[in-house]
Structure 1
Amino acid sequence: MAASLCAFTALSTGFSVAYAEDTYRPECFSPAPDNAKVIRYEKRDGPYKIAFVNGFAGNDWRVTAIQGAKAWAARPENKAKLAEFTVVSVGNDSAAQIAAIDNFIAAGYDGISFIAVNPTAFKAVIKRAAQAGTVLVPFDNVLDTDEIVQVNENQFELGKMKAQAVVDGIRQAKGKVEGSVLEVSGLPGNATDRDNHDGMRSVLDKEPGLKVVQVVGNWDAGTVQKVTADAIATNGQFDGVMVQEGSIGALNAMKNANHPVVPFGGDAGNGTRRLLAEGKYPGVTAAQAPVMSSVSLEAIVSLLEGNALPQKVFLPIPSKDNAELKEGTDFFPKLPDTFYTTTGYPNCFPVFTPDELLGQSPDNT
């Protein structure tokens, strides 16, 4: 049965308590400050057929996103609502991702979660999904549309947070902000990379004494290590470093080059946090938590059950001052460096244990 979509314009573009009360579980599905719509579908009976169509699968973040989705589906309270749950990764080909989503729509799937390879390529897919009654909920690399519910963190603020910590660290060390900083960006063409970069530059561009060197790390630790090593060899030592994802690669490159400890804004990978704590790097780790994949699935089920959600959901940004990182709480020496330490959003459901996540494979199912 096709879902009927109703979009309601909010009383204002900012968050308000009255508006939050009009949506389901606002403690989890919080509207972004600029959210302007509430979206609701016609209720349908379960159990549901749901798919997660991932794109790029070549880094630790994506592995944990897949494991988080599978761990969510394996919990008894969620498993009882699922007739089928399928995960596929299609690489960095937007056409391949669209084809995979179309296949699931044609197969009668009730809902599809995905990380968009290209934020501008899904207009026709959204139309086909609406016609078929398939609920789409992208997360992380979201789309440039307001027609469907999307789950994310504030990517601009995430980048800004890292850059501000680095600038503050430089000011504290030197008494003024000057020198050169390294910005390691992500996978070009993605909304997340764009917004993280813009957030960083909103801080850095206000500091005329700073020279910014930008390199592309593709959110991959191996690539980040290489481009960081090359940047150090070409430009010499930096006064601060910011990495979108794959920070352990930058830290290893700095170690190999005998680079001094400088303010560092990075991700929340287990190895990253361990090295930052051991090296006493000032700065911050701020996470785009990969298990937002599970929140996207939770949103799909909520919508299929007839609940209203904000069109644009912003989850809180998990972050920690590097000076406050603690072994056994923020990083775990006995777990792989590839383990991602932010394992859930407690405002939505109980966070995943390491065993829950590591017990799931990142393979297609």
Structure 2
Amino acid sequence: MTTVVSPATPHPFEAVIQRLEQGQSMLPDSPTNLLEVVGILESYGRVLNAYEINLRYIADQQFLVLFPFFKYMNGDVTLPRLLKHWWHDRINYEFSEYCMKAMLWHGGGGLDAYLDSPEFIERANQAIAAKTAGNFIVQGFNKLSPEFLLEQVRQMCYYRALGQFWEIMSRMFLTLADRYYRGEIKSIPDVVHHVKDGLVADAATPITYTVNIKGKAYDIIPKSVGLTFLVDTAIPYVEAVFYRSLPFMGTLSYNAQAQQVPSDQGDFVYGALYADPIPAGGAGIPPTLLAKDMIRHLPPYLLEYHKTFGRGESDLSVKAIQSFQKSMFCVTSAAILGLAPHPWDTADPAERATNRKHFEAWVDRLVESGSRLSRVQD
């Protein structure tokens, strides 16, 4: 008797996995998707440039300033700038701090491990002693609560590390736009490989942090620690900001009795790959701040495209978030390809099978946790 073997049930997102196996993107390739992704990444690159300048300013110039009233001014405190700031005619640096706090809270990577090490604590306490010298009130408070200022230094390290990370990403996205204008970027796979190549090229760039206090330099994160761009900032950033992030105030209750926020930190799914563009366009929700910033820097061709559907310019925040999500699925695809156990174009059947499991695991996580992967397939 002949036994009939039924063919294996195809993966519900087989087309997505096959694109990854071919070195492409979770986002389908189309002229419209290319226009949206490159355009929004050009805008995002300019916004990130502003964010990283401010993050590095805070880390370098506002070190242990407990009431940093002018931290968003980058040292240029003038009446015209203050008026624009109060009128909210400015970059929303609050969003960059939201991302920084997500990274600080979720941790991961060598930076997180180093900030709990005896070496860090010794270096941080030296800087704290220098900064608080002569300030008996703060010194007394620090003796009563020795972890408070130490935690502030940890936060400063994340300001600095995220600033360095975004400096590289900003340059990468703006270079992508330049290549697009020159006709070198012609498809979504081209975008993915541009980002992947950029991640690999800067993988070993050191992450360091030195603060100057009263004319003396204090190495909080010296180069000798060995922290690098890809492993210690890029991968933790994807995990913390693209996947987990933090619940948006006003949409969920943080009251433990309400049980609206997951009790397990690993169950958080509030990142860029999950956000609903409709509530994300509402006031008080962090991604709305990013949307407003990107709208200020949209290239003309993308602005004109957004005017052609929906409500024209009146729902630009929602459209910007939708385009941004598409671009983040491309960036995530680049990271997934870069983390694959073997080159995506390997001819070895065993290596291809191992890669397949790697791609399936990432796609399954996105599907099972309710990301917007299915929505960007349309």
The TM-score, its normalising length taken from structure 1, stands at 0.26
The structure with the larger Rg is 2
Which fold has the larger relative contact order, with Cα–Cα distance below 8 Å and residues 6 or more apart in sequence? 2
Higher normalized helix content (fraction of residues): 2
The TM-score, its normalising length taken from structure 2, stands at 0.25
